[in-house]
Chain A
Amino acid sequence: MPIGDMLLRSVDDSQINTVFPRTFEEYNKWNRDVDELPPEEVYRTLFEELATGEKIQIGRALTRMNYSKSGWKSLIKKTSREIKKMTKKGIVPESYKETLIEINKDWGDPTFWYSMAQMVNKQTPIYYWNAIDRTYDQNQKVIMQDEKRRIYVQTWFKTLKVSVYVTFFCLILGFPVAHLLANLPLRYSNLLMIFVLLPFWTSLLVRTTAWIVMLQQKGVINGVLVWLGILSDDGRLQMVYNETGTLIAMTQILLPFMILPLYSVMKVIPKSHMRAAQNLGAKPALAFWKVYLPQTIPGMSAGGLLVFVLAIGYFITPELVGGKDGKLIGSWIAFHLKTTLNWGLCAALGAILLAVMLVFYWLYNKIVGIDNIKLG
């Protein structure tokens, strides 16, 4: 239910339409090829709707208008102040168009009017286009965003890249460990399992803080490296507040999610298979490659997918450890939710992320089946 609501939000643009309904109606009649500026009627309805509209409603609409072009907010605020003064004195302007342009010359600037095109529809895909760095031009055609406002495509790719790397590292590190745990006698493996389960049970924030302590310039790792003489004192590595830090911390945090499914799969592979293969003349490496590895594929895909999907929506760790360029898509969703209050864009980003996830789950269900998730 909350997710459905979010999907509605991502296309919903009705709020602004309740504030300026007639203006938008007139606006749609404007033929942009003939006139440079909208006709008199548009100016008149806007003037009237600003004069009679409720202050709170207009305020909300302004926030929305500022998303499509910054400057709307101050423009409308100044204008409506002037309009209030005029209506108090009972002045009815002869030409609404000229009066408005006189109040603020920005009303004569067609780019403001063009940006209004993004808002006139009650349901709009504009947020989705914004989420991949596209926007509308004056004829409601989709074009690229300004060079300096293009951030999301880049962030999407970075999120994917980080997730793929984290999954890969988890697989490389997790596979031998799961193998060891599955093949040791139960007494030892239960003991070693604590090393996997303890991080799994520990608070995410605690582990993130711990990595900041480990990786910072005066931190433990740099300290040990300097003490061992590998690094000079002023050659300390910058490992935190960048992508390296995010990768290291996320790998450690998500590693248990890889080890546990792998372990539960490896546990049931009979040891006699490897022995039989070697008995039939296969070298250990070949036996491993041809006999053991194929049997672990369900575990690898389960763990891999779990890690990948968790990594792609990660937000806490990249935000704290990643610094400025470690920001992933989750951070932007939070940013728009909390700071800019651009909920439409936020919901659109979330919806795209959700769609990506659903594709992966569909794949996962095809390969392994969703019931195979196991805890601890």
Chain B
Amino acid sequence: MALPSYASPVQKTYYYLYLFFCGVVFFFLVAPLIAIVPISFSVSPFMVFTDGMLAWPPDPEAWSLRWYKNMIGDCSADVVSSTVPCSNKWMIGTLNSFFIGIVATVIATSLGTLAALGLSRPHMPFKGIIMAILISPMIVPLIITAAGMFFFYARINLVYTFTGVILAHVALATPFVVITVTATLVGFDMNMVKAAQSLGARPVKTFFRVIMPLILPGIISGALFAFITSFDEVVIVMFMASLDQLTIPKQMWAGIRQEISPVILCMATCLVALSIFLLTTVELLRRRSERLRGIKPR
């Protein structure tokens, strides 16, 4: 969107101001995420840029991997600092996070895909109401969902168990799957299902051989949304999980409240890397899906 050649000086000024403003906003959006990366490599036990890190030429003494070692549970002498406790909590948290995240994703993806398939049938009764109920956990503030779930699960003895946490995460993650899969199904030609069935395939076989390969990009990006939702979830974990279900967000929350240490930033850096990876995957999948459905990028 370049300026036309006949633009007046006033228009030009406005245009550059506008570009500058957008630049500032973009900076505002990503600067905090970039700022934490160098600090996580610092020697200092405080979350600041030390003088040594800013010195030119760079001072190798000011940089270290000690907080990363601390994070993976290596408590040798050069790692331990008087203010930062060392334990393998971060690693336990990582394992739990992946475990809960993956199980919740698998359940949410299967349920969500089936729901989306059903909802995209033309003659589905009560479509609006079912859709509203399904996506309600996405819309109601998390704290309300968490409080409600806590009360409900307390009645049926599911609080402080892995099952409880996973079920709660499934409820939160399913709407994302439903929405992404429904969006993929918009361009889906239902005649193919009829064709498969007239050729003698049973519904289950039709689903796995005809429908699934075509909507797979939608399912995968829905699954990624579901995974990141569960992986990043802290409110429900805080209420419903005991120490046994320690996850990364819970450990980070405890870390920020009690011992502000660069170890948190190491984990944060890893999570930023993970989100870059997921973002790239989703973007590639989206392009592939558009290609498959024959939508050309403008």
Contacts and interface: CB of A to CB of B under 8 A. Distances in A.
B25 A315 contact: no
B6 to A, nearest CB: 11
Interface string A163-198: 000000000011011001001111000001011111
Interface in A231-260: 252, 255-256
B239 A203 contact: no
A337 interface: yes
B268 interface: yes
A218 B48 contact: yes
B28 A206 contact: no
A177 B232 contact: no
A217 to B, nearest CB: 10
Interface in B55-97: none
A373 to B, nearest CB: 7
The 7 closest A-B pairs by CB, nearest first: A313-B141, A2-B148, A210-B32, A2-B152, A6-B148, A183-B1, A201-B275
A312 B140 CA distance: 10
Interface in A328-347: 330, 333-334, 337-338, 343, 346-347
A314 B155 CA distance: 26
A272 B260 CA distance: 54
Most buried by A among B131, B135, B147: B147
17 contacts: A1-B152, A5-B151, A173-B28, A176-B22, A186-B297, A201-B279, A205-B232, A208-B256, A213-B265, A216-B47, A218-B48, A220-B35, A252-B32, A312-B141, A313-B140, A313-B141, A337-B146
Contacts of A338: 238-239
A117 to B, nearest CB: 26
B271 to A, nearest CB: 5
Contact of B279 (A184, A197, A220, A223): A197
Contacts of B144: 3, 6, 313, 333, 350, 353-354, 357
Interface string A199-212: 10111111111111
B271 A206 contact: yes
A333 B239 CA distance: 11
Contacts of B238: 334, 338
A196 B30 CA distance: 8
A361 B47 contact: no
Contacts of A298: none
B245 to A, nearest CB: 15
A224 B227 CA distance: 37
B33 A207 contact: yes
Interface in A353-371: 353-354, 357, 361, 370-371
A334 B240 CA distance: 12
A310 B141 contact: yes
Q: Report the contact-size class of chain B (Cβ under 8 Å from the partner).
A: 35 or more
Interface of B: 1, 11, 18-19, 21-22, 25-26, 28-33, 35-36, 39, 46-49, 131-132, 135, 139-153, 155, 176, 179-180, 225, 228, 231-232, 234-235, 238-239, 249, 252-253, 256-257, 260, 264-265, 268, 271-272, 275-276, 278-279, 282-283, 286, 297-298
B26 A192 contact: yes
Given A176-B25, A206-B268, A212-B260, A201 B148 contact: no
B149 A2 contact: yes
A64 interface: no
A376 interface: yes
Contacts of B29: 195-196, 198-199, 252, 255-256
A199 B33 contact: yes
A219 B265 CA distance: 14
A69 to B, nearest CB: 25
Contacts of A208: 256
A369 to B, nearest CB: 11
A179 to B, nearest CB: 8
Contacts of A196: 29
Nearest to A248: B28
Contacts of A203: 231-232, 249, 252, 268, 271, 275
